[in-house]
Amino acid sequence: MNGFLLALQFFTSIPIRKELPMERKDVTGMYISLPFVGWLIGLAMYGVAVLFVDVIGTGSLLAAVLVVVAGIALTGGLHMDGFADTGDAFFSYRDRVKRLEILDDPRIGAFGAMSLILLIVVKIALVEELIQRNFGLLPLLIAVPFLARAGMNVYFSTTRLAKEKGIAHFFKGKLSAGRLMAWSIIAAIAVAVALGFVLHSIIVPVVLAIVAAAAVFLFRSWSLKHFGGVSGDLCGAFIEGAEVLLWLVIIICI
C-alpha cells in the first residue's frame, strides 16, 4: 500500500498529503504500482470519453481533446515535461554534458515546445481514431498506459544513470532492479494476452510484445548514446512515446 501511495504521490497530481517511508521495499513497490496507476488514469480517460460522447453527445474530436487533457491533468504534465525537455536537449545538437544541463533547465525552448505540440496533436488524432472505430475503447485506454509504464520500468531498471544526482539517482539507489524488471515483464505479457482475448485477436499480443521490447531496446541504446544513460526526464519521454506507439500499433493491427 505504501508503494501504491508513493506512486500516486510522485507520478500523479492526486494530492497524497502524507509522509511515507522511502525504504528499498517501498520504492520498489512504488515502481511496481506505477503501471496500475497508469491503468487508473486510462480508466478516468475512458470515463471522460463516455461522458462526452455517449452522455453529452459531443463529436469524437472534441471528446478526444478532452480525453487527452484529462490524462495530462491527472499526471500533472509530468511525463510531457520530460518529453519536452528531452526534445530541447536532443535537438540542441550539443555534446553530452550540455544536453544533460539542458535536461536540468526548467525553462522550455523552441524544440521542446515543438516536440510537445506534435505529441499532443498526435495523441488527439490517435484517441479520436480509437473513438471513431469504437472497437473496445475501455481495454485499450487502460492497457496502453499500463504497458507503457511497465516498459519504462524495464528501461529504467536496466539502464545506467546519466548523472549522479537528481530524483532518478535517488530512486535507483533504493530499487530492487531485478525484482522490478521480472515483475514488469510478466505483468506486461499478461496484460497484452488479456487484451488479445478481449479483442479476439492473437496478432495484437504478439505484435505488442515485439514492439514494446523493441521500443525498450532502441530507446535504451539511444539514451546511452546521446545522454550516457537514463534520467527522470527520459523516463517521462519514454512513457509518452510508448503510449503513442502502442496506440498506433493497435489501430494498425485491428
Residue ranges covered by each domain of the chain: 2-253
Residue 186 CB-density burial (10 A; 0-12 exposed, 13-18 middle, 19+ buried): exposed
pTM over 0.85: yes
230, β-bridge pairs: 161
- For residues 212 and 220, what is the distance between their CA atoms, to the nearest angstrom? 12
Among residues 197, 191, 198, which one has the least CA distance to residue 137? 198
* Structure confidence at residue 223 as a pLDDT band (50, 70, 90): very high
- Average pLDDT value over all residues in the chain: 89
pLDDT tens across 161-196, in order? Answer: 988 887 888 888 888 888 999 999 999 999 988 988
What is the per-residue burial (b if ≥16 Cβ within 10 Å, else e) of 60-98? beebbbbbbebbbebbebbbbbbbbbbbbbbbeeeeeee
- Does the pLDDT of residue 152 top 90, yes or no? yes
Tell me the CA distances in angstroms from 14 to 9, 30, 48, 105, one per residue in order. Answer: 7, 15, 17, 25
- Does the pLDDT of residue 125 top 90, yes or no? yes
What is the pLDDT at residue 31? Answer: 92
What is the pLDDT at residue 120? Answer: 96
* Structure confidence at residue 226 as a pLDDT band (50, 70, 90): very high
Tell me the CA distances in angstroms from 36 to 8, 15, 41, 143, one per residue in order. Answer: 10, 17, 9, 10
What is the pLDDT at residue 188? Answer: 92
CB atoms within 10 A of CB 178: 11
* Span of 109-113, 115-119, 159-163, 169-173 with lowest mean pLDDT: 169-173
- For residues 190 and 167, what is the distance between their CA atoms, to the nearest angstrom? 30
> Can you tell me which residue has the cell 514492439?
211
Residues 6+ apart with CB under 8 A from 107: none
Among residues 121, 134, 8, 127, which one has the least CA distance to residue 74? 8
Q: Which one is predicted more confidently, 137 or 156?
A: 156
Residue 168 CB-density burial (10 A; 0-12 exposed, 13-18 middle, 19+ buried): buried
